[in-house]
Copies of this chain bind each other. A is one copy, B any other.
Amino acid sequence: MYHKDSNLIYKRLKKEIGTFSGGTKFKLADIEIDVVGKDGIGGLIEEWFGAWAIARSLNIHNPKTTGNSQTFPDYFVGSEKEKGLLEIKTFNGTASANFDIANFDSYCLSLKEHPKRIDTDYLIFSYKMAGIRLTIDEIWLKKIWQITSPSGRWPLKTQTKRDVIYNIRPASWFGKNPKYKPFADKKAFVDALYSTELMYLKKRNLLKSEVKETPNLAGYWKAAT
C-alpha cells in the first residue's frame, strides 16, 4: 500500500529508533543555549529527517526552496519524478496527537485537482522532551484514512473554532479503545471529507439545501476516473 521506498525508509527508522536522542543548540554572539522550549520542533525533525535519509543513502529528495516549510509535499521518495509523496508529521507524545494534517479548504480543493494526493504516505514521529533532551519514542507510516476519523460534530474530524473549519486533525489511531475509529478505507475518508464540506457550506449558506454534492466532490470523481 505504501511506496516501496517509504517502506524501506520506515524499516530503517524503526531499526535505529533506539538511537534517536539529542537536542537543539542555539547560539548568538558568545551565548549558546541548550534549548528547552518546544516551539518549532516539528520543523527541526522534518529537516533532520532529510539529512538522515541522505546519510543512509535512502532514495529521497526535498522539493523545497530553503526554509520554506509550507510546500507540499515535504519530500519525494523513489526515482520516478514527483510520484512518491511523503509528508512528515510530528507531535509531542506526552499529549494527544494534535498536528494539522492539512488545511481543510485547501485539501478539498487540491484533492479535486490532484486526486493522486490521496495516496501520500505520512511518516509520523512522536517525540518527548525531558529538559534539554529530545527523544523520538515512536514512528508510524500511514495513509491519511488511517489517521483520520469521524467526530461528534462532523463526518470528518477537524479543528473548528467559532464555527469556522480550519484544519483536518488526526484521530487517536494508536489509542486502544478510541471513541471514533479511523476510516476503513480510502473511499470512506473521501466520503467523509466531502460530506463535511457539504454540511459546512450549507450551514454557511453557500449552497442550496437541495444540492447533493459540492463542486469539489464532483470535480474529484471526474479527475480521479
Contact residues of A with B, CB < 8 Å? 16, 19-33, 35-48, 51-52, 55, 66-67, 69, 129, 131, 134, 136, 161-162, 164
Contacts and interface: CB of A to CB of B under 8 A. Distances in A.
Interface secondary structure of A, over-half rule: mixed
Contacts of A42: 39
- The 6 nearest A-B residue pairs measured at CB: A40-B40, A39-B43, A22-B27, A22-B28, A39-B40, A19-B29
Contacts of A35: 44, 47
Listed residue (A23, A36, A39, A162) with the most chain B CB atoms within 10 angstroms of its CB: A39
Contacts of A31: 48, 51-52, 55
Given A24-B44, A29-B52, 8 more contacts: A22-B27, A22-B28, A23-B27, A28-B45, A36-B47, A38-B67, A67-B129, A161-B164
14 contacts: A19-B30, A20-B28, A21-B28, A22-B27, A24-B44, A25-B25, A27-B48, A28-B45, A28-B134, A29-B52, A36-B47, A37-B69, A39-B69, A67-B129
A19 B27 CA distance: 11
A89 to B, nearest CB: 14
A25 B24 contact: yes
A41 B39 CA distance: 8
Contacts of A22: 26-29, 32
Oligomer: number of copies: 2
Nearest to A19: B29
A149 to B, nearest CB: 25
A30 B52 CA distance: 9
Contacts of A20: 28-29
A172 B40 CA distance: 26
Given A37-B43, A38-B67, A39-B42, A21 B29 contact: yes
Contact of A26 (B21, B28, B48): B48
